[in-house]
């Protein structure tokens, strides 16, 4: 094989690779759009009026997740499944966002930590790599960490809205998460960086709880209501 032939073979490979990436990018853009819509929808829980509408907002978000599922199915057709990690960086960001949104919805509904299986089910993907397009564990954990900072914000805003009990529940939840993350041996990677931010979320929520308890506000909702 001559040098020229070899290089034109490689060039053929590279342009095929380029085309696949282009296709993936298009689908990921659509996914990002849907993720933003869900985020906008859920952002309204920070409004004072939004607290009463949490169940309806969650139901709407769940509907939008159905759109995500079809878009995910579309993404799966764009490349051979065993080459997941070759193109991983294209959807890593949006997948983390979606994991966060799914975790947030589940938290708002039941105040529990979403499992990896649940996230995969909400997004219409698999948990283990062998079965197809899956949710990488690091992406799941990153999504959970994004939720932690969202919850610290929610704690502040729920006080403003007069819900003095929520911060206590959030505090317990975040503390549990924190001790969970402490079990992990993280390498010096983006996940580690994000985990380093968790302590600030913990601190912020603890301050809110402190403020509430020092004023005697952290009690049953009826007692907090007449303030």
Partner 1 sequence: MSNREGEGCPKKICDAAQANLSLPVIAAFKVFQQELDTKHDKYEHLVKISRDITIESKRSIFLLHRVTSLPDAEDALNEADVKLDGVRQKIGQIAEELRGEDIYQFHRAFTPGIQEYVEAVSFLHYIRHRSLISLEEINAKLVFMRTEKGSAEAQPHAAQVLTFQVMPSDYLLGVADLTGELMRMCISSVGNGDIDTPFQLSQFLRQIHDGFSYIGNTGPYEVSKKLYTLRQSLGKVEDACYALRVRGSEIPKHMLADVFSSRTTLIDPDEGLV
- Binding-site positions for Mg(2+) read 150
How near is the Cβ of 212 to partner 1 at its closest, in Å?
9
Query: Could you say which of 26, 52, 86, 199 contacts partner 1 (CB under 8 A)?
Result: 86
Taking contact as CB under 8 A, which single stretch among the options 58-66, 67-75, 93-101, 209-217 is the one that binds partner 1? 209-217
The secondary structure of 45-65 as a DSSP string is GGSGGGGGGHHHHHHHHHHHH
84 part of the interface to partner 1, by CB under 8 A? yes
How near is the Cβ of 36 to partner 1 at its closest, in Å?
28
Radius of gyration over alpha carbons of the chain, in Å?
21
Pick out residues in 20-79 that bind partner 1 (CB under 8 A).
Answer: none
200 part of the interface to partner 1, by CB under 8 A? no
23-to-16, 28, 207 alpha-carbon distances in Å: 11, 9, 47
Query: Could you say which of 7, 36, 55, 70 contacts partner 1 (CB under 8 A)?
Result: 7
Quote the crossing angle between the two packed helices 88-110 and 137-160, to the nearest 10°: 40
How near is the Cβ of 143 to partner 1 at its closest, in Å?
13
- 130: burial class by Cβ within 10 Å (0-12, 13-18, 19+)? exposed
Q: Which residue has the tokens 């499944």?
A: 81
């Amino acid at each position: 094989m001559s040098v020229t032939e070899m290089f034109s073979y490689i060039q053929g490979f590279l342009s095929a690779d380029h085309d696949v990436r282009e296709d993936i990018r298009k689908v990921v853009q659509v996914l990002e759009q849907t993720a933003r819509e869900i985020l906008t929808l859920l952002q309204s829980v920070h409004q004072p009026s939004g607290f009463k509408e949490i169940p309806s907002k969650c139901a709407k978000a769940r509907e939008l997740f159905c759109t995500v599922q079809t878009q995910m199915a579309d993404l799966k057709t764009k490349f051979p499944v065993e080459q997941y990690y070759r193109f991983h960086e294209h959807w890593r960001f949006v997948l983390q966002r979606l994991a966060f949104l799914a975790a947030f919805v589940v938290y708002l509904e039941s105040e529990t930590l979403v499992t990896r299986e649940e996230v995969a089910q909400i997004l219409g993907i698999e948990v283990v790599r062998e079965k197809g397009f899956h949710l990488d564990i690091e992406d799941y954990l990153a999504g959970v960490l994004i939720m932690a900072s969202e919850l610290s914000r929610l704690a502040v805003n729920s006080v403003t809205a007069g819900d003095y009990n929520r911060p206590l529940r959030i505090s317990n939840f975040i503390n549990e998460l924190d001790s969970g993350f402490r079990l992990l041996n993280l390498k010096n990677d983006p996940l580690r960086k994000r985990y380093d931010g968790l302590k600030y979320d913990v601190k912020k929520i603890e301050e809110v709880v402190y403020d509430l308890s020092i004023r005697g506000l952290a009690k049953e909702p009826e007692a907090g209501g007449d303030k």
